[in-house]
C-alpha cells in the first residue's frame, strides 16, 4: 500500500520555509507520497495555525493524525538532527579537519609528496587564517567573548580588536614564508598571552566559559582546544625563528 502524508508549509514570493523543504524530503525518504499544501500568504498561514491551534508551520499529518513540525517529524521517525544545542566542539573540529586537508593538498601540490614539516607548517598557518576570519566576521561579538578571559584585553580593550588582524596577518606571512622577523614574534606574543589567559581562566580560576577562538557567540567551551590553539602558534613561531637562524 502507498503511504501518504499531508504537509502544510509556507511558500510565498518572499519566503520559502526551509523546515518545510526538510520535512518533505524526510517524508519522501521514508517512502511517503506527499500531498504538499502551500500556504502562500501570511493571512493563509495565520488562518491555518489558528484552525489547528499550532504556533508554527510546517505541519505534517499522517493517517489524519497531526504529527507536528519538523522536529516532531524527525522524532516520529526516530531520526536525529544536526542542530547544535549547548556546548559543542563541532566548529573547531570542522576548521581543523578542513585546514589539515588543505595543508595535505597544498604540500602535495608543492612537493609532489607529503613532506611532514611543510605539512605541519601549512596546517598551523591555514588554521590561524581561518580562525582569524571567524573572528573578523563579527568583531563586536568576538571582543565581547574574548574580554571574558584574555588578560591583556581586560587591561587594554583595543587589543581585543587588534588580535584577529595579527593572527590572520601572521598566518598569511607564514604561508608565504615572508617577513619572518615580523610574523614569528607576533604569533609568539599573542600565542603566549592567549595560552596564559586560557590556563588561568580554566585550570586556576576554574571558570566555565565559552571560547572566542571561532568568533563571538561561540558554543565551543574554553579549555584544552583553546589552549592547544595558542600552543600551536607559539610552537610555530619558535620553529620559524629557529629555522630562520639556521
Cα(38)–Cα(34) distance, integer angstroms: 12
Is residue 172 packed enough to be buried (19+ CB in 10 Å), middle (13-18) or exposed (0-12)? middle
pLDDT digits (tens, 9 = 90+) for 108-161: 999 988 899 999 999 999 999 999 999 999 999 999 999 999 999 999 999 999
pLDDT digits (tens, 9 = 90+) for 177-216: 999 999 999 999 999 999 999 999 999 999 988 888 888 7
Question: Got the DSSP string for 17-71?
Answer: -HHHHHHHHHHHHTTEEEEEEEE-SHHHHHHHHHHHT-SSS-EEEETTEEEESHH
Asked if pLDDT for residue 163 goes beyond 80, the answer is yes
- pLDDT score at 84: 62
- pLDDT score at 82: 66
86 pLDDT tier (thresholds 50, 70, 90) = low
Percent of the chain whose predicted confidence (pLDDT) is above 90 = 76
Asked if pLDDT for residue 101 goes beyond 80, the answer is yes
Domain 3-76 belongs to what architecture?
3-Layer(aba) Sandwich (3.40)
Amino acid at each position: 500500500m502507498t503511504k501518504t502524508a499531508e504537509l502544510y508549509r509556507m511558500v510565498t514570493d518572499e519566503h520559502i520555509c526551509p523546515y518545510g523543504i526538510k520535512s518533505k524530503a524526510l517524508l519522501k525518504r521514508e517512502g511517503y507520497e506527499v500531498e504538499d499544501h502551500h500556504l502562500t500568504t501570511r493571512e493563509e498561514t495565520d488562518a491555518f495555525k489558528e484552525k489547528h491551534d499550532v504556533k508554527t508551520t510546517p505541519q505534517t499529518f499522517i493517517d489524519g493524525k497531526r504529527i507536528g513540525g519538523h522536529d516532531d517529524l524527525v522524532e516520529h521517525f526516530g531520526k536525529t538532527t544536526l542542530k547544535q544545542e549547548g556546548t559543542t566542539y563541532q566548529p573547531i573540529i570542522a576548521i581543523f579537519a578542513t585546514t589539515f586537508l588543505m595543508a595535505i593538498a597544498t604540500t602535495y601540490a608543492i612537493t609532489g609528496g607529503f613532506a611532514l614539516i611543510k605539512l605541519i607548517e601549512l596546517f598551523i598557518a591555514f588554521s590561524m587564517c581561518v580562525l582569524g576570519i571567524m573572528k573578523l566576521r563579527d568583531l563586536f561579538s568576538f571582543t565581547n567573548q574574548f574580554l571574558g578571559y584574555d588578560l591583556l584585553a581586560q587591561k587594554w580593550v583595543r587589543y581585543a580588536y587588534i588580535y584577529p588582524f595579527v593572527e590572520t596577518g601572521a598566518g598569511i606571512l607564514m604561508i608565504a614564508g615572508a617577513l619572518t622577523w615580523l610574523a614569528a614574534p607576533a604569533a609568539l606574543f599573542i600565542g603566549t598571552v592567549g595560552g596564559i589567559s586560557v590556563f588561568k581562566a580554566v585550570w586556576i580560576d576554574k571558570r566555565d566559559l565559552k571560547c572566542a577562538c571561532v568568533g563571538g557567540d561561540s558554543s565551543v567551551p574554553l579549555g584544552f582546544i583553546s589552549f592547544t590553539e595558542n600552543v600551536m602558534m607559539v610552537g610555530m613561531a619558535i620553529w620559524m625563528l629557529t629555522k630562520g637562524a639556521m
